[in-house]
Amino acid sequence: MTEEADRIEEEMEGKELDVEAEEGGEDEEGEDGVYDPIEETEKFFEAELADLEGLSAPRKLKTIISSRKRVENDIKLMANRIRHLHLEEEKAQKKIDTTKTRANDILDLKERNREAARRRELERKQAEEELRRERQLLALQKAERRAAIRANREALQQSKREDVLMMKQMKKVQERDRKLRLQQERIRCAQSAEVIRLHKKVAADHNMRQRRQQLFEADQDMQDQIYEELLKKHHALQEIAQLEEEESGLINRLHSTQQIHLQAYEELEAALNEDLADE
């Protein structure tokens, strides 16, 4: 595909050079001399008449007409050839356009191929970079795991050493506690007699305090009964005073009621006496 595109480009460049050369030749001819149509026509007439010199006028006319018809026929043939040339030129132009289109397509394809190659190269480099990073990450993780394993191993060894030290300390503490218990047991045994004596003394003191408490409670009960009786007597006296006050009030109201009744009776009696007097 690449070789065909290069060949088409070379053919197009060759055709462009030929066209430029033809245009350059036409420019040079135009610059050498000035075209005069009248002079050219006079020269043509002179040459034609010179060829017909010695012929009669009718013969000249017939010859000229015949020559003119041949020329007109040549014009038709030339026009046909020109038309065919135009058609061929159009075909050639179409081929050129097609070739240019194919060339552009090929160039576009080559550019796409180059772009795809660049993209693949970039992807390859990115993949290599990603692989390198992954390898670095794996190496780092591996180193971290090794460091963690080493740290765990050291921590385990340190823990074992601490456990051994703790066991030794616990044994020392247990031994010290055992000795302390033995010493306390000896002291307890030595103090048993004193404890018993003190216990008896405490029991005697307790009995004495209990007896005193009983006597005090009996006396306190008597005092409580006396206070309760006095309180009852006081309440009874207060109740008697209230009843006496109520009785006095009732007597006063009864006396007032009797006075009112007596007055009403006297008024009734007076009214009756007045009625009898009127009769």
Spatial separation of the C-alpha atoms in residues 279 and 273, rounded to whole Å: 10
Quote the domain boundaries for residue 55.
2-28+42-136
Mean pLDDT across 40-68: 77
In a domain, 196, yes or no: no
Half-sphere exposure of 1 (CA within 13 A, CB side): 11
Q: Is 225 exposed, middle or buried (0-12, 13-18, 19+ CB in 10 A)?
A: exposed
Half-sphere exposure of 9 (CA within 13 A, CB side): 11
3-state secondary structure of 53: coil
Q: pLDDT tens-digit profile of 188-228?
A: 766 666 667 776 777 777 777 777 777 777 677 777 777 67
Give CA separation, 133 vs 123, 136, 137, in Å: 15, 5, 6
Measured in degrees and rounded to the nearest 5, phi and psi for residue 54 equal: 100, -10
The whole-number pLDDT of residue 1 equals 43
- Does residue 237 have a pLDDT over 70? yes
Cβ atoms 78, 86 nearer than 8 A: no
In a domain, 106, yes or no: yes
Spatial separation of the C-alpha atoms in residues 187 and 173, rounded to whole Å: 21
**pTM for the predicted model, two decimal places:** 0.30
The whole-number pLDDT of residue 122 equals 92
Angle (nearest 5°) at CA 101 between 96 and 104: 120
**38 contacts: CB under 8 Å, gap ≥ 6:** none
Q: pLDDT tens-digit profile of 85-107?
A: 888 888 888 888 888 888 788 88
Mean pLDDT across 61-80: 83
> Left if phi > 0, otherwise alpha if psi is -120 to 50, otherwise beta: which for 33?
beta
Q: Is 52 exposed, middle or buried (0-12, 13-18, 19+ CB in 10 A)?
A: middle
- Does residue 55 have a pLDDT over 80? no
In a domain, 110, yes or no: yes
Spatial separation of the C-alpha atoms in residues 137 and 143, rounded to whole Å: 10
In a domain, 85, yes or no: yes
Cβ atoms 48, 64 nearer than 8 A: yes
The number of distinct structural domains making up the chain is 1
In a domain, 102, yes or no: yes
In a domain, 56, yes or no: yes
- Does residue 6 have a pLDDT over 70? no
In a domain, 104, yes or no: yes
In a domain, 256, yes or no: no
Of 2-16, 73-87, 213-227, 260-274, least confident by mean pLDDT is 2-16
Neighbours of 204 (CB within 10 A): 10
- Does residue 271 have a pLDDT over 50? yes
**257 contacts: CB under 8 Å, gap ≥ 6:** none
